[in-house]
A = this chain, B = another copy of it.
Amino acid sequence: MGKEGRVSVGIVGASGYGGVQLVRLLMDHPEVELVYLGGDSSAGKSFADIYPHLAHRVAQPIESVDPEAIAARCEVVFLSLPNGFACDMAPQLVDKGCKVLDLSADYRFSDLETYQIWYGKQRQDIAVATKAVYGLPELYRDRIAESQLIGCPGCYPTASLLALAPLLKQGLIVPETAIVDAKSGTSGGGRQAKTGLLLAEADNSFAAYGVARHRHTPEIEQVCSDLAGHQVLVQFTPHLVPMVRGILATVYATLRDPGLVREDLITIYRAFYRNCPWVTICDSGIYPQTKWACGSNLCYIGIETDPRTGRVIVLSAIDNLIKGQAGQAIQCLNIMMGWDESLGLPKLGFYP
């Protein structure tokens, strides 16, 4: 245990954007102590070499990744690695008694075959994977509370599922009509240098990518199917927005009862999320801007109905790196530890 009775926490993969959010957020968390920063490619550097703006606050070095040593020092381990790495390391950490929160796709799928098809890696850790819980607290809070291993959701699925859940859970829509047209800032692409994510390429431009084949599709469908009680296919299209942070998901679906108006749905959504401190349903006629959510763990949801077409349109905005990634992982940790769900998380961003 850390000093002053704090829980000792480590981060594997600290140098990426997920890692630096975790570092930043955990520094403000009153119940944890950050005792380990790991990353093979950056091992030996100081964290400040990679993020100089933190030089006056973070003195720790990046250490090499040795699960045995990590487990000896950390009660909680966040894994913020590319897909396909966590599944080689988590079993050992779980076995040593660590609570593990994985930010990659490795532990998001209850059906590992789906994982293997979409991510192309054979899995040896079936027994451990079976115990993993999908870390979307608004839907799986109770299971998260009792789990030792969390597969934290992708950024797009978080925004998409929070928009779709009340509709599917309550049978308000025809599930197969669901379309998610999602838009993300470029930080979602990570910190590795790729030509398409250069400012010179991506700024002042807008485009779709991964149309009809993005890997977040099966993740969205898994939860939608769980909510609907039968298998659901969802049309999911991601786009790149010339901005740093934020996701907006625009969700379309045909209402079973075209007589429902937006005020009805706002009431239903507010009831559905009444115990969820991180979901805010906008007033009638208000649609969220991604910027509202940036720098906070909030998800803003706006709702509209179109009586002409019988559809509902739901708009869901999050900060892709906080509620869509690191903040949500800490929200899960709070629940696992029995702490207040909102402990140590930023309640509001700055505007403008």
Contacts and interface: CB of A to CB of B under 8 A. Distances in A.
Nearest to A217: B308
Contacts of A181: 181, 250, 252
B287 A53 contact: no
A348 B54 contact: yes
A212 B252 contact: no
A330 to B, nearest CB: 14
A233 interface: yes
A181 B160 CA distance: 16
Nearest to A52: B286
A186 B290 CA distance: 16
Contacts of A311: 235
A59 interface: no
B208 A186 contact: no
A348 B53 CA distance: 9
Interface in A206-237: 206-209, 211-212, 233, 235, 237
A37 to B, nearest CB: 15
A138 interface: no
Interface in A293-332: 293-295, 300, 302, 304-306, 308-309, 311, 313, 315, 317, 321-322
Interface of A: 17, 20-21, 24, 27-28, 48, 51-57, 176, 179, 181, 183, 185-187, 189, 191-195, 197-209, 211-212, 233, 235, 237, 239, 241-246, 248, 250, 252, 280, 282-283, 286-295, 300, 302, 304-306, 308-309, 311, 313, 315, 317, 321-322, 347-352
